[in-house]
């Protein structure tokens, strides 16, 4: 089982910035796919940004140009940098990763525990 832990959420004023991190202590896998989702108080969970191992990225239209997904392969960690935050970005943010185990080739999926991002207007 591969566990990813999130950090970096908090309270920020509109127009401010935050960086979320999603990392794992393990190193016996390669990350094939990574993503950030969010779920607001009255909304379904939605995909905010994703990146494949080949570097193909996707962004939700409403965050395009403001959010950036990135990774640090050496640390098995990926990030979501959020700039010019708006009140509608308020949500619990979850990271998600698909990994391939190096020894068996087995695919494992992991979700972070969620971190609250609150943007005050």
For 60, the token pair is 């939700």
For 50-63, the pLDDT digits (tens) are 999 999 999 999 99
For 14-50, the pLDDT digits (tens) are 999 999 999 998 889 999 999 999 999 888 999 999 9
pLDDT tier at 95, thresholds 50, 70, 90: very high
Say what the pLDDT of residue 25 is.
86
Segment holding 5, helix H or strand E: strand 5-7
Tell me the C-alpha distance between 85 and 112, whole Å.
22
């Amino acid at each position: 089982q591969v566990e990813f832990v999130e950090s970096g959420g908090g309270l920020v004023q509109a127009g401010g910035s935050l960086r979320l991190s999603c990392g794992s202590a393990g190193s016996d896998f390669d990350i094939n796919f990574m993503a950030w989702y969010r779920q607001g108080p009255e909304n379904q969970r939605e995909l905010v940004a994703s990146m494949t191992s080949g570097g193909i990225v996707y962004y939700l239209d409403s965050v395009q140009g403001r959010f950036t997904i990135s990774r640090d392969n050496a640390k098995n960690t990926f990030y979501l940098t959020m700039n010019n935050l708006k009140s509608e970005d308020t949500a619990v943010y979850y990271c998600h990763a698909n990994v391939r185990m190096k020894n068996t080739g087995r695919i494992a999926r992991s979700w972070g525990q969620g971190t609250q991002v609150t943007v005050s207007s």
